[in-house]
Amino acid sequence: MWRWVRQQLGFDPPHQSDTRTIYIANRFPQYGLYTPQKFIDNRIISSKGYEDWLRHNSDNEVNGAPVYVVRSGGLVKTRSKNIRVGDIVRVAKDEIFPADLVLLSSDRLDGSCHVTTASLDGETNLKTHVAVPETAVLQTVANLDTLIAVIECQQPEADLYRFMGRMKITQQMEEIVRPLGPESLLLRGARLKNTKEIFGVAVYTGMETKMALNYKSKSQKRSAVEKSMNTFLIIYLIILISEAIISTILKYTWQAEEKWDEPWYNQKTEHQRNSSKILKFISDFLAFLVLYNFIIPISLYVTVEMQKFLGSFFIGWDLDLYHEESDQKAQVNTSDLNEELGQVEYVFTDKTGTLTENEMQFRECSINGIKYQEINGRLVSEGPTPDSSEGNLSYLSSLSHLNNLSHLATSSSFRTSPENETELIKEHDLFFKAVSLCHTVQISSVQTDGIGDGPWQTNLAPSQLEYYASSPDEKALVEAAARFGIVFIGNSGETMEVKTLGKLERYKLLHILEFDSDRRRMSVIVQAPSGEKLLFVKGAESSVLPECIGGEIEKTRIHVDEFALKGLRTLCMAYREFTPKEYEEIDRRLFEARTALQQREEKLADVFQFIEKDLVLVGATAVEDKLQDKVRETIEALRMAGIKVWVLTGDKHETAVSVSLSCGHFHRTMNILELINQTSDSECAEKLRQLARRITEDHVIQHGLVVDGTSLSLALREHEKLFMEVCKNCSAVMCCRMAPLQKAKVIRLIKISPEKPITLAVGDGANDVSMIQEAHVGIGIMGKEGRQAARNSDYAIARFKFLSKLLFVHGHFYYIRIATLVQYFFYKNVCFITPQFLYQFYCLFSQQTLYDSVYLTLYNICFTSLPILIYSLLEQHIDPHVLQNKPTLYRDISKNRQLSMKTFLYWTILGFSHAFIFFFGSYFLIGKDTSLLGNGQMFGNWTFGTLVFTVMLITVTVKMALETHFWTWINHLVTWGSILFYFVFSLFYGGILWPFLSSQNMYFVFIQLLSSGSAWFAIILMVVTCLFLDIVKKVFDRQFHPTNIEKAQLTETNSSIKCLDSMCCFSEGETACASVGRMLERVIGRCSPSHVSRSWSASDPFYTNDRSILTLSTMDSSTC
């Protein structure tokens, strides 16, 4: 009892067993007491609160999804978050499993169902799961209410493909024990397909599900700019403390003389004379800290948050990132990382659904040494056939007299060298029979009327059948065979039904030899209507061709290589006919291997090898895994921008490599290195050393690396440095058969490397959530695999091709804007406070302020806040099309170059120099002669401070104008309006005696200042002096040391594109000021839509869908 009490209080953790016992709960009261877990976000701060509110709604959408559970003989509707371990849950077709369930029954008599796990492992294939026989017959709620069973299974673990357990069923006072494996477990996040409904018992729920265990706990992401800001802030904090210490020390040094310690006009009180010197020193130090504290730009963080929050809306408003087919626009879930889009060095992308459309299309095939391609639904040969010079298959209409495989000749000469038209047709019939039978395709509905009425035609209506395949290749091949007259109708028990030109044929399915990565092929053994036992084999050419003894092997090998060069996925088809005696031995050996309790996998491999030999090759297929639009161009652009692209996928090795080749991730000229099928640490280490030597010895410009999940686990265990050395020397890396957590580990390995590069992860399924959360920037694709990735990402886009504009345009703009914002804020605060520090030398360090308190308060809030905020939202220092068409410009802003220490020191020194000009310029111009008014009235300290403040305000505002390249009416309004507002405010503030103010120090001061012509002369002279040096430096740098971006600006100015504006275009034509305008453009690198024309030459690429990210208006080409 005491141990139990300690466990409940959390002092003594309970014993962790390797297994758990689950009692199937079908007799709980209908209205039970639930304790749902709710995510409550208490953060209410502006943008963060808004973003968290959006995430909260997304979580509620998932956790609050309605589900039905069995309660006391009936179905009770509840929410998915209320499911408990042991609940029996009903799931209908196309619904997502709300928890990890052990399948009890389905609407099928055999208790099987089909699911797709695309959102978990990225595979779009249909997986078959089966229930144990004792529960498979319990297909109604009433029957399930009688079930008495207990499940014992392993504790939750992240491995998606591993599950061990057993079910103890009590029937008629007898206990029956049935083993449970992965085929019995329905994973949360998977979707039910091709099955009306199923019942399953929840074994893992909530954060114990395999999908949740593969999630990485989301941490707060901080951009490189934010880290630089913190570094700069520390430097300015040191400057602040240094100025306060210097001022305090100089004060006491000055007061060492008696006449300055207690002047006649400022006698000390008795208390001041007797106070502690240490406390007085500390008090003076703190007073100077308060006086100089404005050098720390606290308002910078407010402005940065506003810029990020408001700037994030431009991504969603960009019509170039809008996908019209799916009606989806880009989404921003985390605005903190906008500028990080301009710093990416590594892109990690999923394959299925991210690079591809999850659609396979049959393209070409090779039948008995003759290559064909599908054109408009008909097979057309590339060259003349033995009996036809037309190069087409119109003569195959005579195929209709073939009814079944018994018409096939068995002689080798017949199969390999057809001598007449009938024999050729038989070869084609055999090929497509192999395609239609060698698979694990399922059909949801059978509507075969009118199918297969014409030979090799497109109007065979295969669309009436809905195929669900164990791989996308199988579905594409079966659909192609249906288009050509041999239609797979479906399975009926152990019978496979095929319609050949309208005639139904039934083949008895005897055995399925499942695909595995070692054999790289799968087979079926069927019994033809005529009684023959036939083996059909389908697999990779490297695994099928060596086992063939007949057929056009060499010609087919050449065709397969040609298909591969086109980026097509290839498979070879072969067959073998068994004698009755051979089949009896095969059947016996298969039964023994499949029922073995020990070394079952090894025994099955031996039997499969015994069966799949002495094959006759019938042909090869070529299927295209349809890529998303402009994937190849996007990957090539990323490579040109200096970004390394890694593909991390859960797919098989061959599939992943094929897609990498077709999408341009791997080039044909690239030396492909492989680290696969490693079984031990020593073997993996030796292989890595071999690869490292090959990279250094081979005189190849580019290398590509392929690594599988098992080998990767070994490499990351003890050989991280060696593995990273190999990877960094490869232009492209592709990791296949990856578990979700492995993807995150790979990204973390890159993140913590000495270079600490910025990483970006792209994915579309729940299996990609871990790597999306691990990367510096996570992007979700709103594809066909659910919304888990989009919900957990920082940004969500509809297509992979949008990544180029997101990085090269938005990322580039955001980084330049915020980098300038940060530097400018430190600059203007140095300009603001440094005169305050210098003024203390002239007031005996009495802590007298130079500026009025109202000016101190409004400087960062009103007078200088809007110009930099609008700049950080609207600035386009170069045309968006130039950025997208020249990815190399992305390199200029990488490595956080705009916020380097060199740039930071330049802005800081510039601020100090301008501050010295403000103060000493004012001092020398009016400080020696304060009687500058016409009536002989003298200037005072408030007038002097107001003069310094006026010069400073105008200078920092015009400095912002010099940094602006893209002028809109908003920029003009806030820039010149800020200066005007200062003058108007000062006139009102100093022209009225405000009754609620305790002091009236500024009364009539500003009016007196403006009435002096000398003051106006001093203001203009000092502003010009400050900015003249800055302009000279800009001209010198642009002419003699231009950056690539500045070269692009000059090229753009001198070429056909005359304006950096993307809102509109203007007619051609020279103006009187055209030459002056061109000179100014070359010097400053900007244009104004209202002053500079925009014209296009015939050679320039024109984008008819050019849309402004500001106005969202399309560009009318007729006006250009």
End-to-end CA, the chain: 86
Rounded to whole angstroms, how far apart are CA atoms 45 and 339?
21
Residue of 350, 764, 794, 892 with catalytic role = 350
Which segments within 882-1000 are labelled E, that is strand? Answer: none
CA distance 433 to 438: 8
Report the candidate in 252, 1055, 347 with the shortest Cα–Cα distance to residue 771: 347
As a whole number of Å, the CA-based R_g of the chain is 38
Structure-derived torsion over alpha carbons of residues 122, 128, 129, 134, reported in degrees to the nearest 10: 180
Q: Is 350 a catalytic residue?
A: yes
Pure H helices in 612-679 = 631-640, 653-662
Q: Which spans in 547-677 are helix H?
A: 553-565, 580-594, 600-611, 631-640, 653-662
Helix/strand/coil for 871 = helix
Query: What does the alpha-carbon distance between residue 427 and residue 407 come to, in Å, rounded to a whole number?
Result: 11
Residue 317 Cα distances to 329, 557, 818, 1109, angstroms: 8, 52, 20, 7
Q: Is 844 helix (H, G, I), strand (E, B) or coil?
A: coil
Strands, E assignment, 165-234? 165-171, 174-180, 185-186, 191-193, 197-204
Which among 58, 92, 95, 61 has a CA at the least distance from the CA of 79? 61
From CA 1065, how far away is CA 682, in angstroms rounded? Answer: 65
Spatial neighbors of 435 by CB under 8 A, at least 6 apart, are: 477, 478, 480, 481, 486, 538, 573, 621
For residue 503, what is the enclosing H or E element? strand 503-513
Which 8-state DSSP code applies to residue 328? B
Describe the crossing of helices 969-991 and 865-874 by its angle, rounded to 10 degrees: 170
Nearest in space to 125 (alpha carbons), one of 555, 655, 536, 501: 655
* Helices 277-292 and 812-839: angle between axes, nearest 10 degrees: 140
In 3D, which of 452, 337, 476, 1108 has the Cα closest to residue 758? 337
The three-point CA angle 955-960-963 to 5° equals 125
For 113-129, b/e burial (b = at least 16 CB within 10 A) is bbbbbbbbbbbbbbbeb
Does residue 520 come out as left (phi exceeding 0), alpha (psi in the -120 to 50 range) or beta? left
Angle among Cα 152, 156, 157 to the nearest 5 degrees reads 130
**Spatial contact of 109 and 130, defined as CB atoms under 8 Å apart:** no
Question: How far is the C-alpha of 599 from the C-alpha of 614, rounded, in Å?
Answer: 26
DSSP state of 140: S
Compute how many other C-beta atoms are within 10 angstroms of the C-beta atom of residue 18.
6
* CA atoms in the 13 A half-sphere facing the CB of 20: 15
* Spatial contact of 621 and 474, defined as CB atoms under 8 Å apart: no
Question: Whole-angstrom Cα distance, residue 766 to residue 513?
Answer: 31
**Other beta carbons within 10 Å of 700:** 13
Catalytic residues: 350
